[in-house]
Amino acid sequence: MMKAFFSILSVYSTPMSLHEFDRTHFQSALSYGLYAPLASKLLESRGVVLHPFFAQGHNFRYEIGTEHGVSALLAHTLGDLLENIDIGYIASECNISEEELAFLNKYKDSQPIALLLGRDLYFHPHAEFIAHTLGRLSTKCQIRFFAQDFTPIPHTNHTQEILNTDILESLPDNNGAYVYLLKDNDCKD
């Protein structure tokens, strides 16, 4: 799954390893799907962390499993993409408030933007949709992707596709308990 995610994303942009991220080169930075305490450390408390756990300060917490909805919200908010989707419904199902979207909208004018990507995205059941959505976003604004566990992969025959947004019509309900597993080295990056 991870290889397919990066293969698709590489059609639109050139992702880099998270180890290559240098906060001093970016006025604006977001973290998405990356373990929140690690993301906060990398962003040096200046940036937005999007993650289903650990909401505090500029950490915006969304519903577990709705990463594909959050990617659509980012594409709509930062890149004016996906104009024909119901943003209110998606924001509600993802548990992202209007105030949080308005805050993210401020990033649109401060480019380039660093977007730190984590495992939650490339192991998601809709990882291909997420990769295509984020890739399209990178064609509309200056975004540099920095990915956890990234290793460059040879070019494949993935192409830019028309996004099928039907999956956004039924985002999952998560009214139960979840366990978030970490590897020992997740906090050491």
CATH number of domain containing 144 = 3.40.228.10
Q: Is residue 38 assigned to a domain?
A: yes
pLDDT range class, residue 130, cuts 50, 70, 90: very high
pLDDT range class, residue 151, cuts 50, 70, 90: low
Question: Distance (Å, rounded) from C-alpha 73 to C-alpha 64?
Answer: 15
Question: Distance (Å, rounded) from C-alpha 51 to C-alpha 165?
Answer: 22
pLDDT at position 86 is 92
Q: Is residue 179 assigned to a domain?
A: no
Predicted TM-score (pTM) of the model is 0.79
Domain extent for 28:
2-153
Q: Is residue 112 assigned to a domain?
A: yes
Q: Is residue 115 assigned to a domain?
A: yes
- The structure tokens 């597993």 sit at 181
Structure-block tokens of residue 71:
């990617």
- The pLDDT tens digits for 91-129 are 999 999 999 999 999 888 888 999 999 988 988 999 999
- The structure tokens 């969304």 sit at 62
Q: Is residue 178 assigned to a domain?
A: no
Total structural domains within the chain: 1
